[in-house]
Amino acid sequence: VSLQPAAGAHGEMTGLMMIEAYHRERGEDRRVVLAPDSAHGTNPASCTICSMTSTKVRSRSDGKVDLDDLRSKVDENTAALMITNPNTCGVFDDQIADIAEILHDNGALLYYDGANMNATLGIIRPGDVGVDVMHFNTHKTFSTPHGGGGPGAGPVGVTEKLSPYLPKPQVVRHSDGTFGWEYNKPKSIGRVRSFYGQGGVL
């Protein structure tokens, strides 16, 4: 986890930067990010800021992702799918593990937008259903102040395979049980904020 991002959209940018670094290290130039038409509105903007292209995936009449449309759009250029779950229609897509499998089978990653995480807190664990990276909207889920760059916070959590790319410095636990900063992270995307995160809010 990195506590540096100052807001949810800043967390999205951070997550996409790590996804790009992951694919680049594997020698792949994947620049297409899929997003369901029910996704959070900041997703396409974050893609643009990270020099990626956003492609829409259709939803069915029940508000869930059309898996056939998803399969038809995932290819060697796909970096990830950004999904908000529950989506902006208020529907929890219980196909989430199937969605993750479709992406992973094609070398792509699953980004979970934490905008509506308050509806699933304590019910599901994103890592268990195949999520690779997600941000937490602390103002929505934990009632912290809201504000990009000010009092806001948008921490990002990742799976083990993406952890080398987390912003540095990273908090680590030493063998004697104490905590400290780890700056020696050669694969890190670097700082995304001038300090370590909004400690007072968090």
The per-residue pLDDT for range 174-199, each reduced to its tens digit, is 999 999 999 999 999 999 988 788 88
Beta-carbon contacts of residue 142 (< 8 Å; ≥ 6 apart): 136
Side chain identity at 61, as an amino acid letter? Answer: S
Q: How far apart are CA 43 and CA 37, in angstroms?
A: 11
Q: Radius of gyration of the chain from Cα atoms?
A: 16
Do residues 91 and 38 make contact, with C-beta atoms less than 8 angstroms apart?
yes
- Top-confidence residue, 148 or 40: 40
- CA 138 to the chain's CA centroid: 14
Position 61 scores a pLDDT of 94
Residue 17, SS3 per DSSP: helix
Where is 179: in which H helix or E strand?
Answer: strand 179-182
- Residue 8 — very low, low, confident or very high, per pLDDT cuts 50/70/90? confident
Cβ atoms < 10 Å from Cβ of 161: 11
Position 18 scores a pLDDT of 98
The per-residue pLDDT for range 120-133, each reduced to its tens digit, is 989 999 999 999 99
Place of tokens 């968090």: 202
The per-residue pLDDT for range 37-85, each reduced to its tens digit, is 988 788 888 999 999 999 999 999 999 999 999 999 999 999 999 999 9
Residue 7 predicted with pLDDT over 90? no
Position 147 scores a pLDDT of 67
Alpha carbon separation from 17 to 21, 23, 80, 117, 169 (Å, rounded): 6, 10, 12, 22, 16
Residue 149 predicted with pLDDT over 60? no
User: What's the predicted TM-score (pTM) here?
Assistant: 0.93
Do residues 110 and 80 make contact, with C-beta atoms less than 8 angstroms apart?
yes
Position 137 scores a pLDDT of 85
The per-residue pLDDT for range 73-118, each reduced to its tens digit, is 999 999 999 999 999 889 999 999 999 999 999 999 999 998 888 8
- Percent helix, strand, coil in the chain, to 5, is 30, 20, 50
